[in-house]
């Protein structure tokens, strides 16, 4: 007699279904590249003009997601050209590159935030940065959900790591919006540095998962 809690058997996608998922993943990565280009340009320029570390870190994270999208497109193209068996090495390399990029950003944000808090410097309110972060919240939620679904379908840790970067970007967007609203209401100079430090936990968590190559379908 079977246990009532026994999980149902996994149903692997057929070759044609897998190819359809990979093509959808390509479309999502092209969308990621387009949106992250806009997000990075607006956030970095606005962050420099306003002297906002949280906005600058947000823009740099967008640049890292651009690099991650490029790596993912390379990994997917390897499978399309050579088949699933040839994509395993590309899978591990893509996942580790994504993790390393997140670690680099976490180190930069930590050092810059501590320097800003030590120097007692704040930031000005930026409408362009606020608007792009506000729009990114629902956009990243939708993008992450689709990437996670496809990652589970094709068993890709690298795509899962890329999806987690979209999740992180969504939380970063929330932190940016919350920081600017709090700055506008309270006017405390230290909120920009504190907000950027709140980002670091997400970066380290997702960087560790990507580097260790954790299972994508838990």
Residue ranges of the domains in the chain? Answer: 16-212
User: Looking at residue 31, what is its pLDDT?
Assistant: 94
Two tokens at 128? Answer: 């362009």
- The average pLDDT across 165-187 equals 82
Query: What's the residue count for the chain?
Result: 218
| Separation CA 191–CA 204 (nearest Å) | 21
Two tokens at 38? Answer: 């806009």
Domain 16-212 class in CATH: mainly alpha
- The average pLDDT across 165-183 equals 83
Q: Does 167 score more than 90 pLDDT?
A: no
Two tokens at 144? Answer: 């992450």
pLDDT in tens, 113-163: 787 677 666 667 789 999 999 999 999 999 999 999 998 888 877 788 788
Q: Does 34 score more than 80 pLDDT?
A: yes
> Residue 59 in contact with residue 47, Cβ under 8 Å?
yes
pTM, 2 dp = 0.75
User: Looking at residue 117, what is its pLDDT?
Assistant: 72
Reported confidence tier of residue 1, pLDDT bands at 50, 70, 90: very low
How big is the CA angle at 114 (ends 109 and 115), to the nearest 5 degrees? 100
Who's near 79: CB < 8 A, 6+ residues apart? 22, 86, 87, 90
Q: Report the candidate in 162, 179, 183 with the shortest Cα–Cα distance to residue 91.
A: 162
Who's near 38: CB < 8 A, 6+ residues apart? 132
Helix-helix angle 87-119:191-212, to 10 degrees? 160
């Amino acid at each position: 007699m079977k246990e009532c809690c026994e999980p149902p058997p996994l149903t692997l996608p057929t070759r044609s279904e897998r190819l359809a998922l990979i093509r959808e993943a390509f479309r999502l990565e092209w969308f990621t590249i387009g949106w992250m280009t806009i997000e990075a340009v607006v956030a970095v320029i606005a962050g420099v003009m306003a002297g906002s570390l949280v906005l600058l870190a947000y823009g740099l994270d967008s640049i890292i997601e651009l690099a991650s999208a490029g790596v993912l497109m390379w990994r997917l193209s390897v499978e399309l050209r050579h088949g699933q068996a040839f994509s395993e090495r590309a899978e591990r390399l893509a996942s580790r590159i994504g993790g390393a990029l997140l670690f680099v950003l976490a180190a930069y944000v930590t050092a810059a935030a501590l320097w800003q808090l030590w120097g007692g410097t704040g930031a000005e309110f930026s409408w362009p940065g606020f608007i792009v972060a506000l729009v990114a919240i629902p956009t990243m939620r939708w993008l992450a959900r689709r990437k996670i679904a496809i990652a589970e379908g094709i068993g890709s840790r690298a795509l899962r790591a890329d999806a987690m970067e979209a999740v992180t970007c969504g939380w970063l967007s929330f932190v940016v919006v919350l920081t600017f609203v709090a700055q506008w209401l309270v006017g405390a100079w230290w909120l920009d540095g504190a907000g950027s430090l709140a980002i670091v936990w997400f970066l380290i968590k997702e960087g560790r998962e990507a580097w260790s190559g954790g299972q994508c379908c838990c």
